[in-house]
Amino acid sequence: MTVSSPLVSPLFKNVGAIAYTFAMYALGIGLILVQPWQLNGLGVVLLVHALVLSATFTHEFIHGNIFKDRRLNAFWGQVMTHLNGGCYATWDALVEHHFNHHLHHADFVGFDFLKYFNTMNPWLRSIYVVLEWLYFPIFEFELRWRVILAPWLEPEKRSLRWRAIALMLYRTTLFILLAWISLKGLVLYFVAYISFVNIMRFADAFHHTYEYAIVGQAFPKRDRTYEQEHTFSNLVSIKYPWLNLLFLNFGYHNAHHHNMSCPWYELPELHQKLYSEKGGGLLPLPQLVSNYHHFRLYRLFSGQGDAILDEGTTPGSFTGGVGVSFLTPP
């Protein structure tokens, strides 16, 4: 029986997957606190797994694809952001940011990334280059800190200062508590979180070849044809579709952009109906590992590149995007 089986109700699929996410998170926390290093390693893997699911569930809740009640979607979506760290942005900001991505067929950013890196102080830029080369996603963490500090940096968000302070206090308290229980556990949690950010960054990088659209500046009007031509389905596996559940079927991205109200468990069927196995910008993630590695610095300074697909080949010019997470609205 597959997850899309009509014998399993949508409510059961959703509640079961949500419960599984929390169970993996709790088990992961437990395992990073014990002594055997083998169990510590398993705990890190389970934490990464749970964090990835919490992020993709946040995406589903943004679209209102889990429950019929909009308030329930908003509540559980916010709960998920407390797992993955996206809670510093308001729920309304997350929803607005992501729906603008769909409605305007663009990756909206708060400032010109390319200009930012190319004109950065050389000493500071060298720090970014070294850390990014080492797979420490320093720019992604900068974007998260920009969200945290936005109430002090942007006058229109001043009313959110006490909210931001409360969130920082409660999350800092939890990290101090974790360190008090086990300093090793705190270090392993950060290893898991950094791994999670890298994995989601990899998944997000190759979904589109949209040009960055800077908030507040004019951008060209784009249609649905442009959207599909610049959207790609990055599946974990074509041969073993169940592996795509590792990202809650997030890789069926052309199908998702065709119908953003389609829930996660119906996306494989919709993809098959629309594109079969060769259409829909199909570009499996395993084929993009070398691109992600090779261009991990280049994409910071030169943009997303192109991905004109030839039969059976991986586009060598597809550098991938950066800073396009739905968890970090500008």
CB contact at 8 A, 271 and 252: yes
- Quote the mean pLDDT of the chain: 92
pTM metric for this prediction: 0.94
pLDDT at position 1 is: 37
pLDDT digits (tens, 9 = 90+) for 99-116: 999 999 999 999 999 999
The 8 Å CB, 24+ separation contacts for 14-21 are 14/66, 14/67, 14/263, 17/53, 17/57, 17/248, 17/264, 18/57, 18/66, 18/76, 20/53, 21/50, 21/53, 21/54, 21/57, 21/80, 21/83
Q: Say if residue 3's pLDDT is above 60.
A: no
pLDDT digits (tens, 9 = 90+) for 137-155: 999 999 999 999 999 999 9
pLDDT at position 6 is: 61
Q: Say if residue 202's pLDDT is above 50.
A: yes
The full 3-state SS of 7-76, as one line of letters, equals: CCCHHHHHHHHHHHHHHHHHHHHHHHCCCCHHHHHHHHHHHHHHHHHHHHHHHHHHCCCCCCCHHHHHHH
Least confident of 160-169, 240-249, 283-292: 283-292
